[in-house]
Amino acid sequence: MTQIIGSREETKKEKTEGAFVILGEDPASQARAGLLRTAHGEVETPCFMPCGTQGTVKALSSEELEEAGAQIILSNAYHLYLRPGEEVFEATGSLHSFMRWKGAILTDSGGFQVFSLSPLRRVTDEGLSFQSHIDGSKQFLTPERIVQFQLLLGSDIVMVLDECVGYPSLLEASAKAMERTLGWARRSKEAFQAGKTQGRFLFGIVQGGTDSNLRRQCGERLLEIGFDGYAIGGLGVGEPAPLLWEQCALSTGQLPKDRPRYLMGVGTPEDLLEGISLGIDFFDCVLPTRHGRNAQVFTGEGIRNLRNAAYAKDPEPIERECPCPACRGYSRAYLHHLLKSKEILGVRLATLHNIWFYLGLMKASREAIRKKNFEPFKKGTLTRLRRTS
C-alpha cells in the first residue's frame, strides 16, 4: 500500500503504487512527512483537520477553509445521522456536495458523542441504544449501520464504532470496552468491504484506557484484523499529560510505519508538536474554533485574549507576519471592539485567524521534517508559544 521515498518530486513515478507515501523523516525523532491520496485530493501530513462536526466548521465557509489551506476536514456521523438525517443525504448527495467542500473528509463514528451527549444510553455487544440529545427520540446504532451511513455521506476516511472510557476508569471497565471495540472493529470492516469503497479508507481505533497492557493488546489484535490506517482513541479525557504521551508513544511504536496514524481529539499547538515527534500524522480538535468564539487567538508568541483592555486602542494586527484575512485588514482594536460588542464578525475573524494559524503550524512542521530539523524547530516554537497575554 505504501511507498517510502526521498523527495516530493519522486511521487510522480510512484503515483499508482500506494495511497500513503512517506516523503521525509526527522533523524532526531519519529516525525515523518507524508502524503495520503484520496478520491478528493492529496492530503499532506502531518495535518490538522478543522472540525466541521455538523457539516460546517463553525463561523466559516468551505471557500474560506480552502483559502486557508485546509486539505481535509472532520465531520461527525452521530450528529449528521440525527440531523439532517439519512433521507436528506439520499436526496441531496454526499456530504461534500451538501456543504460545497472539494477536499477530503474524515467522519468520526460518533461513539464518543453517544457516551458524552446522550442522557439515557445502553451499550451492548450488538450496538448502542440511546436517546437523541436533540429531540429525545430513541435510537439504535450498530457498527454496520454507522459504517453504511458514513459511506452514504461519501466519507474519504471512515472510522469504526468504538467505546471510549473516561479517566480514571477501573481496569475491568477498560478491558470490557476494549473487547467490545475489537468486536465492533471486525464487524465494521466486514460492512465496509461489502460497500462501495473505492478510494476510501477504514481506520481502526486503539482503546484500552490508560493501561499499557490493554493498549498493547488492542493494537496487536487490530493489526490482525487489518485496517488502512489506525487511530489512537480514549486519550485527552482528563489524564495527566505525561500519561497521555506515554500511552501515545506506546501505540505509535506498535502501529505499522506504512499506515497513517491519527491521534483523536488532542490538539493544543503544543500537543500537535509533541504528537508529531511521536509519529502522528492526523490531528483534530475544536480548540481553534472554540477559542475564536471566546476572543482567544493563537499566535507564534502565545495566546492573546482580545477582550483584554490592553487591545482597546492597539492599531496592530493580531500578528504582523500572518497572511490571514483578519491580519491583512483589521486591527486588534477593531477586533476588541467587535468581540466586546458580541458582533458576529469578531467571532468570524478570530476563528479564521486561528484556523490559519493551526494550518500554518502544520505546514511549517512538514517543511522542518523534510529539512531534517524538526526537533530544533519544535524546541524554538514551544519556547515562543508558552507566552500568554
Alpha-carbon dihedral sign for residues 44, 50, 54, 60: negative
Residues 6+ apart with CB under 8 A from 176: none
Alpha-carbon dihedral sign for residues 309, 310, 311, 315: positive
pTM of the predicted model as reported, rounded to 2 decimal places: 0.94
Helix (H, G, I), strand (E, B) or coil at 234: coil
Question: What's the grid cell of residue 91?
Answer: 436526496
- Cα distances from 59 to residues 56, 351, 352, 357, in angstroms, run 8, 7, 8, 16
Residues 6+ apart with CB under 8 A from 124: none
Backbone angles phi, psi at 7, to 5 degrees: -150, 160
Residue 131 CA neighbour count, 13 Å, CB half: 6
C-alpha 216/C-alpha 254 separation (Å) is 8
C-alpha 44/C-alpha 33 separation (Å) is 7
Residues 6+ apart with CB under 8 A from 246: 212
DSSP-derived secondary structure letter, 119: S
Residue type (1 letter), 78: Y
Backbone angles phi, psi at 160, to 5 degrees: -70, 160
Question: What's the grid cell of residue 148?
Answer: 453504511
The pLDDT of residue 259 is: 98
DSSP-derived secondary structure letter, 160: P
With contact defined as beta carbons under 8 Å apart, do 376 and 343 qualify? no
C-alpha 333/C-alpha 195 separation (Å) is 53
- pLDDT digit of tens for each residue in the chain (389 aa)? 444 333 333 333 333 347 999 999 999 999 999 999 999 999 999 999 999 999 999 999 999 999 999 999 999 999 999 999 999 999 999 999 999 999 999 999 987 887 676 667 889 999 998 888 889 899 999 999 999 999 999 999 999 999 999 899 999 999 999 999 999 999 999 999 999 888 899 999 999 999 999 999 999 999 999 999 999 999 999 999 999 999 999 999 999 999 999 999 999 999 999 999 999 999 999 999 999 999 999 999 999 999 999 999 999 999 999 999 999 999 999 999 999 999 999 999 999 999 999 999 999 999 999 999 999 999 999 999 987 66
**Inter-helix orientation angle 332-340/344-370, to 10°:** 130
Q: Where do the H-state alpha helices sit in the chain?
A: 62-68, 77-82, 86-92, 95-99, 111-117, 143-153, 171-193, 212-225, 241-254, 269-277, 287-293, 325-329, 332-340, 344-370, 374-385
26, 108, 228, 271: which one is catalytic? 108
CA dihedral 290, 137, 190, 110 (to 10 degrees): 10
The pLDDT of residue 75 is: 98
| DSSP letters for 164-198 | ---SS--HHHHHHHHHHHHHHHHHHHHHHHTS--T
With contact defined as beta carbons under 8 Å apart, do 65 and 128 qualify? no
26, 156, 162, 284: which one is catalytic? 284
What are residue 106's DSSP bridge partners? Answer: 74, 157
Based on the residue annotation, tell me whether 281 is a catalytic residue of this protein. no
Strands 72-76 and 104-108: parallel
What's the CA angle centered on 128, arms 50 and 213, to 5 degrees?
Answer: 75
With contact defined as beta carbons under 8 Å apart, do 104 and 65 qualify? no
C-alpha 88/C-alpha 296 separation (Å) is 36
Residue type (1 letter), 282: F
